[in-house]
Each structure stands twice: as C-alpha cells, then as structure tokens.
Structure 1
Amino acid sequence: MNFKEAGIVAPVLDGVEAMGFKEATPIQARAIPIILSNKDLIGCAQTGTGKTAAFLLPTLQQINEQTNHGSIDALIVVPTRELAIQIDQQIQGLGYFVDVSSLPVYGGGDGMSWDVQKKALVKGANVIIATPGRLIAHINQEYVDLSKVRHFILDEADRMLDMGFYDDLKKIMKVLPEKRQNLLFSATMPPKIRKLAQEVLTDPEEVNIAISKPSETIVQAACMAYDGQKLELIKHILTAKPLNSVFVFLSRKSEVDVVARELKKLGLSAEPIHSGLEQDKREVVLQDFVNKKVNILVATDVMSRGIDIKGVDMVINYNVPNDPEDYVHRIGRTGRAETEGVAFTFVNEDDMFKFRNIEQLIGKSITQIKLPGDLGEGPTYDPENVRKPRKPGGGGRRKFSRKK
C-alpha cells in the first residue's frame, strides 16, 4: 500500500515523497486510516517499523486541515530527550509543506531553553513533543494551556512506565480536555500497558505488529565470557578491522564510561551516552554518531531506545538484555535494507537463563564462538542446567583468572 491509498493527501503527501518514502510499512498501512477516522488507537510495534510516521503523518494532516489552529493541537509525550528531538526532526521533514509548528520540550538545558519552551507553550506551537518531567515542571508554573489539545500521543509507553513516569502521565492527563483523540504506542504489551491503555483510551482500535524475527542478513554470534574477560574481548573485536558505525549496549551507565574510555585509549573513535551526561553533550555525541564523526556509540539501553539510526555495521550486547524482545530491538539496528550486519552478545555465567529465553523467542540457536586464545576459557553454556538470575545481593561473582 502506498501513502495515498492509506489516506494521506497533499501537502503532507508532498513531504512524504520529498523524504523518499514509497510504500507504507505494515504499522503505517494499518494505523493511518484508523487515526484519520479520529478513533483512539493502541499500537504495538518495535523500533524500526516506521511507527513514528504512522502517527505523525495523519496527525499533521488533521492539524493542517483545521481552519483555526493557533493553540497546542497535539501533545506527544516520550520517555527521553533524544526521542523528543528525533520526532521533532521528523516533523520538520515530513511536515515541510504544511503550516504546522512544533517544539521539543525537555530538561537538561540552560535558562534560554526554558524560556524558548515557555514561549512556545504560552503562544501555542501546534505540536509539542515533551518528556513527562519537564512538561510537569512547566504545568506547575500555571501558564500552560492544554485545554485545546485534540491529539494526545504516548510513544514508547512501555519504556515510560519502566522509567517510573506513571504518576507524571496521570498528572498530565488531568489537565487535558476530555474530548480528544488518544494514541498509545508501545514496543511491548505487558499487563501494565493494558492498564494504562484502559485509563487513557476510549473504545480504541488495536494494531499489533508482531515482533519480527531478526533479519536473515544479520550474522548473530555469542561469546561465553566472564565479566573480567569482556573488556579485552570487545577490544579484540573492534580492532580486528575498521568499522564505520557500531552500537555497544550496556546495562549500567557506570560501565558505559569505563568501556568508552578504554576504547579511546586504543585510538578508536568512541563516545559514551547516558543520562549522567549534560544534555548539550549528549546531543553533540548523538549527532556526531549520525554524521559518522564518531564510529562507536557506547550506550545504556534506556538512552538508545527509540533512536532510529540507519547504516549500523555492528551491534555488541556487552550485557544480555533482560527482556528477550529488547534483544531483537537492539540487533535490529544493523542488517537493514538488505545489507549485512553483525551482532555479538557477551554471556556471563549469570545471564545464561536470559540468553536461553532469547533463543526460544527467535526460534533458533545463536552460534557460539570461542574466545581468543589469550583470554583463556569462558564459562560453559549448559542449556539443560542453566541457572535463573539471582536476586540482588545473592552471592559474589566467580573470579576470572588467566590460564598460564
């Protein structure tokens, strides 16, 4: 299905064509007609499926067709600053030929950024893309008028709940008009999202794009490695041959800084990105990675979720993700558009249970490769006697000692 058949018309269609989009993705083909009919919608689709355009295109068209829109017409709430910026950039592209203004509202900036946000919120940019905490801070100043919002969109709703934004979302909804269109998008659909959907949506349509299996163009491999071996292992992989673009995922931001620093010592172009960095620094790092000025982005999963960057050569899971579906999200950043990609996952003795769940989800065994000889032996993977994750505080880790 093309976008015209889905219901998109000029001038929004002109922006789509200018961006080089030809055919609508499954989430776009199914969601756009529903949104254009002004129904509420709950959409389940992972990063990289085109879900952002699925709600932006019909929303831009609806706003553009309104005869009088001088207030905040659409409010998009997202979990991270990076995602807010990315959505705003997509609006600038897809909405190039429409008279619709937008502004991302997020924390971490200086006083000037606060004043710019305040001005847009008071005068009424047509589309506000906001992180919950920053929006609440503005609402508490009592100059934000959300009474004319016609489209309320929650993107990456599962991640927002994981980050503890439930109460903030409830506060935001209290100042919205009762009569509005509600759209909720989530990569996963656990019970807590179903509960939130019941509180937000009215008689919604549901579009569920099943989580896709990893592309066949991605070469997947796993290394059984103790934590003490991982740093030398990643150095070995990243110095084996030049790579233009690599994502390294870690679970803890304290590890992000260590890994990025050690890679820099080798002369590699690597930068960390996590919530502990100043906002300006994070934006520069992300843009440098997009522009290939930085080749290796070392990130926490929370920071990188929702960032859609094409042309990634390799993904390295320094830690096994807790959710098997997150594994598919992570490695799906490589091997796109029929190009080959590589995904490595480091599995320590405590992560084998989670790793087995990943193999069950994707329906195949992931090839295991041996560690380089000078690193010694890693833990033995035994799928029949794999251990469940230990509760926090439950015993120490096994120490690694090099073999002589």
Structure 2
Amino acid sequence: MTEVPQTKRYRREENENNSDNDEDDAYVPYVPVKERKKQQLMKLGRIVQLASEASTQPKSSSENEGDEESQGANEAELWGRKYNISLLDQHTELKKIAEAKKISAVEKQLKEEEKILESVTQQKALMGVAELAKGIQYEDPIKTSWRPPRYLVVMTEERRNAIRKRLRILVEGDDVAPPIRSFREMKFPKGILNGLSAKGIKKPTPIQVQGIPAVLSGRDLIGIAFTGSGKTLVFVLPIIMFALEQEYRLPFERNEGPYGLIICPSRELAKQTYDIIMHYSKHLQQCGMPEIRACLAIGGLPVSSAMEVIQRGVHIMVATPGRLMDMLEKKMATLDICRYLCMDEADRMIDMGFEEDVRTIFSFFRGQRQTLLFSATMPKKIQNFARSALVKPVTINVGRAGAASMNVTQEVEYVKQEAKVVHLLDCLQKTAPPVLIFAEKKQDVDCIHEYLLLKGVEAVAIHGGKDQEERSRAVEAYREGKKDVLVATDVASKGLDFPNVQHVINYDMPDDVENYVHRIGRTGRSNTKGLATTFINKTAEQSVLLDLKHLLIEAKQKVPEFLNELCPEAENYLDLGDSHGCSYCGGLGHRITECPKLEAVQSKQASNIGRRDYLSNTAADY
C-alpha cells in the first residue's frame, strides 16, 4: 500500500526537476504575422505558383550570401503580391502552365517518333558495295549538253516560282531548271513531237513541266505526283534523248550497253514502259533518225528475246529486279557504261526487304549515274533516305505524297463477307465498262472471275499464280476493249495505265492505305473523272480504316457514318505540329509508333527469312 504513493511521488519529483532543467527547451519562439500568412498560403495550395516562379528566377551566389533580413523582406513582398492576385488571373496562369505541359508532351512524342524513324532508315542502299567500301562520293551532278531556251534562262526566280505556284508544283533543291510549259520549247525533235500527237498529248502536265527540264539538265530527281499525272514520260523522254545523243556521237557496237536502265516492280508495268519507249523510237525512225534499241527483261519471258537485242547493242533496258539480278550475275548483261537509272514506284523498290538486293544491283555500275525515283506514295522515310544517297537531288512534289487523285469519286460501302460476290453485280451497274476489280487473295480473284463468267460478264483475271503468257493475253484483251472487266490482285495496282477505266471496285480493303491509293488511281487519269467503290466489313483492320477515313476527309469525299464513328478520340493525336500521320508508311490515321506496316516488317526480319528468297517470291507474284 505504501509503495504506490512512493512511486507516484518519485515520478512527480523527477518531472519537477526535469521541468526546471529543460525550461529553455520548452520555449516556443514568436512567429511573425508574415510567416504565419505564408504557412496559411501553403495550406491553400498557392505554393505551386510560387515554386514555379521561383524556379524560373536564377539565383547568384551573391544573392545567396546576402543578409537574411533583406531576403525575408523580398520574400514577404513576393508573397504579398501573390496573395492579392485575383482568381481570374490565377486561372489564366494555371491554364498557361497546363498548355506548356501539353506542348512538352507533343515535343516528347515527336522526339520519340524521330528516334523510331532513324532506327528503321536504311543505310545508303543506292550505293554499290565498292563505293561504300572506298568511300566514293560524287559532289556534282552529271553534265549534259541540253540547255533551256534563252528567255527562260534569264527569267527571274520570282517569275519561275509564280509559274510553279499556279501549277501547284513544290520544288526543293539548289539551282533547279526552269519550268517549261510546252514540249517544243523542251527542244524535242520532230519524231518525239509526232509520237506525242499520236497519243493525243498536246501539253505537259505539272510534273512534266518541271520534271523533264530537271532530268534533261542531268539532275538526280525524286518525283512525287498523284496517279495518272504522267510521271512515265518524265523519265522515258529524256532517256530516249540521251540514248539518241550517244548513238549520234558513237554508234553502239555488239554487246554494248545499256546506257539507260529502268527498274519496275511488276512485269506488267515493265511491259507497259517498254511499249511506250518503242512507240517513240518508231516515230523517231520514221523521221530518219537512228534506231533506239530497247530490251525487256522480265520473269516469264525467255531470256533469248532480251539477249538478241543486247548482242546487237542495246540503248535502254527495262527490267524487274529478279530477272535483272539473274542476268547480271550470269554476265548476260553489264552496267559498265550505264549512266542513267530510273526506279519506277520507288517506294516499293527500296523498301526494307529489297535493301540488299538493290545494293547488289548497284554494285555492277562502273561510274556515276543519274538516278531518278518516282512514285505516287513516297513516305518521309524513303524521301530522307533517297536525299542522303543521291547527288544534290531535286524533289518535285505535285500534291501530298500518298494523296488520292481528286478526279476520283470515292464511295465506301459496308458489305457482309458472304454478300460481297452478289453485291458485285449491283456495283457493275453503276457505270459503263471497262471496270477493274481488285482483291487481296488469288483464290478470291479466281472465284470472282468464275462467278462473273457464269453471269455472262466478259471478264479476264490476272494474279501471280498465272503464267506470264496468260497474264499478257488478259491485259491486252482488256486494254484493247475486247473484255469489259479485269479482276486482279495488286499486280495491276501500281503504274498500269488502262484507257478510260470508268470504275474501280475494291472487293476488300487492302492491308495498307498505299495500295488503296494506287488501286483507285487506275481510274480518273489524265484529267478524266472516275468512280471507286470499296467494300469493307468487320474483317478489315481498324488502323487501315482509320487511314481510309482521313484520306476521304483530305480528298473532301463523303465519309459514311460507320467510318465517322471510328476512334474520334484520336483526332487530336494525329496532328502534331507540322507532322501529319505516319512518317513511315504515309498513312493519315495513325502515327509511326502504331504503324502496322512497320510492325509487319520488323516481325518479318525477326523471323529470319532470307532476303533473296523474299525478292524471288515477290518477283514471282508479279
């Protein structure tokens, strides 16, 4: 009983002693009014504004070493001003901070995309292995004897730009040749002019107005223009003139040549280009000029036909990559004196899978050459890569790269998979023939062809599974108007020029929007009007449909309701500054970070497929 109060008494005495000793420690200093206001402001959350302003103001060492009283006064003054800011001003300031954060997010996105683009950009595939190994670089373009008319030489740059602006021609490069608005002023001989008249061509198109003078002056060129704009003549007419000049100076002997090489991605496009060259060569001969000999080297045709021309001395060779590599490796042909090279539909030719094969072809050159790249769809990655490999190139752009022709009316219809074939007959009633039908798979092409024949429609079909003779017969019958409908895979989508195609039907949406642009470009050519109808359903990839939606908006076409409802939240994401869409494939509906084509290419590389096999397979399909 007595121990408990003793314990309490002991603790009380100890506390009393401690309170006496720690009297100084228990002292609470006085907090000034300004400091208390500062703490109050911190509780209200306005410290965020002050911290951001304080971080923008640099502090020198002398300021840090100043006396504390002056710093306290300045800080108090700062807090006082902030305390008196109205809510409206505070809202404006916070809004600016939020916008700054948003801009920084956009910059971060663009930097990330630049890194991706750099990582997938090829090294200089347009240079031969020996050139790369020896570090050979050409500083100046090839010199030619062609000169523009004198009045154009003395024309001011302002007047030249006025002509380009009127024709909507965008030009990049130094010392570009002046635009020339008539073939006669381009100094073509009578035979060429007669050949143009025979085809009903009276004046050059915008890409020809600027492109032909640039090529004749010896410049490396990147030509981008919508389908049906006359890109073929930009490289065909100059090479004929160069070959004619060489023949006049020193006639070609046996097994000599070619002087010019044109590489095409498909057999049909190569055959079409060859026929155009022979057309103008025939008219030159009729005017008493030397024969311009050209050979066609494509798969499916006997090599002997090309060898007969080569043995006589060949001026121009038109080839597909597979057959060309085979002939070069077997020494059936050489590129020792070749000084002119054109790659038609170049975006496909120098795609990732062709890099090594293109470099192999270029290793057979024995000197500098004039290189021309042409396409309707040339993404930024191809343009940047080509600029780094060419010699002071000139880039001519008529319309956005990858844009659809404005002469084509585009219609998109939702059709169930099982109803597609039947719905085709209804679509064929929209216009008069000729009509072109595209499908992704060879089996679908055969099914559609068989169905149309059963319904009494005059139709022919081509795809990579058919032999070359059958493909050639089908294309000629359709071109001459003997057949009303051509059913094809994408072998007929790039570069082929069929006269007066009224209607293009996409039986299914292609895997990427580039093929869509090339497909519908078979109609609405040479300032004529055309119609394109596309079937879509749930089997189509959402990313491709989003690209299609933005392509329709760009071309000011009617967008169906089911496409309008597709991913509206992504609209603001697609336009970052001056950059629109994907810089890898050119699609407007996604960015490079979500590019399905890039993913497919990367997965193909990872699967260890040999590039030579890839080229041969692709060449076989074409």
Partner of 1:156: 345
1:181-192 matched pairs, under 5 angstroms: 181-192=370-381
Q: Does 1:237 align with 2:447?
A: no
Q: Decide whether the 8 Å contact of 1:118 with 1:138 is kept in 2.
A: no
| TM-score (normalised: structure 2) | 0.56
Q: Does 1:345 align with 2:534?
A: yes
Q: Which digits, 9 at most, give the CA deviation of each residue in 1:211-265, with x for residues without a partner?
A: 455435x443221122222112113323x47832111111222221121112212
Partner of 2:172: none
Q: 1:65 aligns with which of 245, 256, 271?
A: 245
C-alpha displacement of 1:134: 0.3
1:130-141 matched pairs, under 5 angstroms: 130-141=319-330
Partner of 2:268: 82
C-alpha displacement of 1:183: 1.2
| CA–CA separation in structure 1 for the residues paired with 2:531 and 2:335 | 46
| CA–CA separation in structure 1 for the residues paired with 2:393 and 2:563 | 48
Code of the residue aligned with 2:551 in structure 1: it is L
C-alpha displacement of 1:28: 0.7
Partner of 1:291: 480
C-alpha displacement of 1:82: 0.6
Code of the residue aligned with 1:220 in structure 2: it is Q
| CA–CA separation in structure 1 for the residues paired with 2:203 and 2:430 | 36
C-alpha displacement of 1:50: 0.5
| CA–CA separation in structure 1 for the residues paired with 2:563 and 2:381 | 36
Q: 2:544 aligns with which of 342, 354, 358?
A: 354
Code of the residue aligned with 1:68 in structure 2: it is L
Q: Decide whether the 8 Å contact of 1:275 with 1:303 is kept in 2.
A: no
Q: Decide whether the 8 Å contact of 1:69 with 1:126 is kept in 2.
A: no
RMSD of aligned alpha carbons: 2.8
Partner of 1:39: 219
Q: Which digits, 9 at most, give the CA deviation of each residue in 1:38-71, with x for residues without a partner?
A: 1111111233110100111111112212212413
1:74-113 matched pairs, under 5 angstroms: 74-95=260-281, 96-97=283-284, 98=289, 99-109=291-301, 113=302
| CA–CA separation in structure 2 for the residues paired with 1:131 and 1:336 | 24
Partner of 2:204: 24
Q: Does 1:167 align with 2:167?
A: no
Q: Decide whether the 8 Å contact of 2:226 with 2:405 is kept in 1.
A: no
**Larger fraction in strand:** 1
| CA–CA separation in structure 1 for the residues paired with 2:529 and 2:204 | 23
1:221-232 matched pairs, under 5 angstroms: 221-232=411-422
C-alpha displacement of 1:156: 0.9
C-alpha displacement of 1:22: 0.9
| CA–CA separation in structure 1 for the residues paired with 2:415 and 2:374 | 36
C-alpha displacement of 1:385: 6.6
Number of corresponding residues? 378
| CA–CA separation in structure 1 for the residues paired with 2:526 and 2:360 | 41
Q: Decide whether the 8 Å contact of 1:359 with 1:365 is kept in 2.
A: no
**Larger fraction in helix:** 2
Code of the residue aligned with 2:279 in structure 1: it is G
Structure exhibiting the larger radius of gyration computed from Cα positions: 2
Given the superposition, is the C-alpha separation of residues 125 and 293 from structure 1 closer, same or farther in structure 2, using an over 3 Å criterion? same
Q: Does 1:55 align with 2:235?
A: yes
Code of the residue aligned with 1:194 in structure 2: it is Q
- SS at 1:260's partner residue? helix
| TM-score (normalised: structure 1) | 0.84
- SS at 2:219's partner residue? coil
Q: Which digits, 9 at most, give the CA deviation of each residue in 1:149-170, with x for residues without a partner?
A: 1211111111224594332221
| CA–CA separation in structure 2 for the residues paired with 1:330 and 1:39 | 30
| CA–CA separation in structure 2 for the residues paired with 1:304 and 1:94 | 25
Partner of 2:17: none
| CA–CA separation in structure 2 for the residues paired with 1:121 and 1:154 | 21
Q: Decide whether the 8 Å contact of 2:339 with 2:367 is kept in 1.
A: no
- SS at 2:453's partner residue? helix
Query: Any stretches of 5+ residues in structure 2 without a counterpart?
Result: 1-180, 571-589, 601-622
- SS at 1:271's partner residue? strand
Given the superposition, is the C-alpha separation of residues 7 and 205 from structure 1 closer, same or farther in structure 2, using an over 3 Å criterion? farther
1:300-319 matched pairs, under 5 angstroms: 300-319=489-508
Q: Decide whether the 8 Å contact of 1:224 with 1:381 is kept in 2.
A: no
